[in-house]
Amino acid sequence: MNVNVVEQKFCERFGDKGMLFASPGRINLIGEHTDYNGGFVFPGAIDKGMVAMIKPNGLDVVRAYAVDLDDYVEFGLREEDAPAASWARYIFGVCREIQKRGGQVKGFDTTFSGDVPLGAGMSSSAALESTFANALNDIYELGIDRFELARIGQSTEHNYCGVKCGIMDQFASVFGKAGHLMRLDCRSMEFEYFPFNPEEHGYKLVLLDSVVKHELVGSPYNDRRASCERVAAKLGQEFLRGATMAQLDAIKGEISEEDYKRARYVIGEEQRVLDVCAALERGDYETVGRRMYETHWGMSKDYEVSCEELDFLATLAEECGVTGSRIMGGGFGGCTINLVRAELYEGFLATAKARFAERYGHEPKVYSVVISDGARRIN
């Protein structure tokens, strides 16, 4: 995260320094599309994220400059002042959601930049929301607890950005802890830290970015959520969480084939998260890897959120002896997350780059992953 550039641009544009805040993107080792089903997720914050310099300006206007986009926007803080620029709607939405909760937000100046790759499934949007929610909470001494900061980010997505996301991305960005993954129960909001140090067991974690990007806004994501809600309602439950395959099979004739497949994936994924947590406590990374592959093909065949390029990368990983590989994030493009034995790492990356380029005309981007801390003020 380029703190110096953010500071320099702030001084150029606004004439003085403000306070610096940062929030990370995230990976999710396993537990995809389970959060809005009341299930378990298993994310960790990463060493890539957003950094913003912010200073109150004594006006009723927010003046925001997106360094990476070289774009400047001004907007007011009333509902009718919503900016047109999609990136600015995240900041506006955070301000509005804080106001709805009774928090006093006044005008401020800000510049921000990020090194979370956009569209790669590492949740740059949650990093942006968490940065501003945490910063405004700090600057205006609002006393909002960290869970509510995560919910403010989630509500921003729902109400201002058109994505009915679960809570995982914002939770991971706010609560991240270096060297740990977090198992979050999205129904009770209870969570537990699990030490995660694959290097100590002879493994590396690496993301391969297909550089394919499909928008999550609108139907593909929301349609799948609606499928799950229909099946849960048929089972007499609020969420799919806790449903069994036996219960699902009992109503198979009363639901569409598509809804059945969506629910089958989610029920299996809930168990896979618990299996992976138990395996990590034993230091059993081979089981972790097997469950990752199961998740990938469940997302590809049953949930249908993969694409040809991601399936190619997962298949290639298996051929190269990679311990585990799967789509990471909502799908429809982005990255695979790969758990690789250290001795296979360089060979796998070389093969993946060459074979992918041969097939699709460009190499995948490679991102090594370090598990890091969550939203914070930078002194």
pLDDT tens-digit series, residues 277-326: 999 999 999 999 999 999 999 999 999 999 999 999 999 999 999 999 99
Strand order in the sheet with 365-368: 324-328, 335-341, 203-209, 365-368
Higher pLDDT, 363 or 197: 363
Q: Is 71 helix (H, G, I), strand (E, B) or coil?
A: strand
- Per-residue confidence (pLDDT) for residue 336, from 0 to 100: 95
Q: Does position 213 have pLDDT exceeding 90, yes or no? A: no
Q: What confidence category does residue 122 fall into, taking pLDDT thresholds of 50, 70 and 90?
A: confident
Query: How high does pLDDT run on average in the chain?
Result: 93
Q: Does position 1 have pLDDT exceeding 70, yes or no? A: no
User: At a CB cut-off of 8 Å and minimum separation 6, what does 40 contact?
Assistant: 31, 34, 183, 184, 185, 186, 270, 273, 274
Cβ proximity of 29 and 337 under 8 Å: yes
What values do phi and psi take at 185, rounded to 5?
-85, 110
- Per-residue confidence (pLDDT) for residue 218, from 0 to 100: 54
Task: Find residue 257's DSSP bridge partners.
Answer: none
Mean pLDDT, residues 236-254:
97
CA distances (Å), origin 216, targets 209, 219, 341, 370: 17, 8, 32, 26
CA distances (Å), origin 320, targets 315, 343, 348: 9, 12, 6
Q: What confidence category does residue 166 fall into, taking pLDDT thresholds of 50, 70 and 90?
A: confident
With tokens 């190499």, the residue in question is 363
The token pair that represents 173 in the structure block: 């960005």
Q: Does position 120 have pLDDT exceeding 70, yes or no? A: no
**59: which DSSP letter?**
S
Q: Does position 216 have pLDDT exceeding 70, yes or no? A: no
Please list, residue by residue across 295-329, b when 16 or more beta carbons sit within 10 angstroms of its beta carbon and e when fewer do: bbbbbbebbbbbbebbbbbbebbeebebbbbbbbb
- Per-residue confidence (pLDDT) for residue 215, from 0 to 100: 55
Mean pLDDT, residues 51-55:
98
Q: What confidence category does residue 241 fall into, taking pLDDT thresholds of 50, 70 and 90?
A: very high
Catalytic residue flag (residue 169): yes
The token pair that represents 207 in the structure block: 């993301």
Pick the catalytic residue: 169, 209, 259, 302? 169
Domains and CATH numbers, the chain: 3-193+373-378 (3.30.230.10), 197-368 (3.30.70.890)
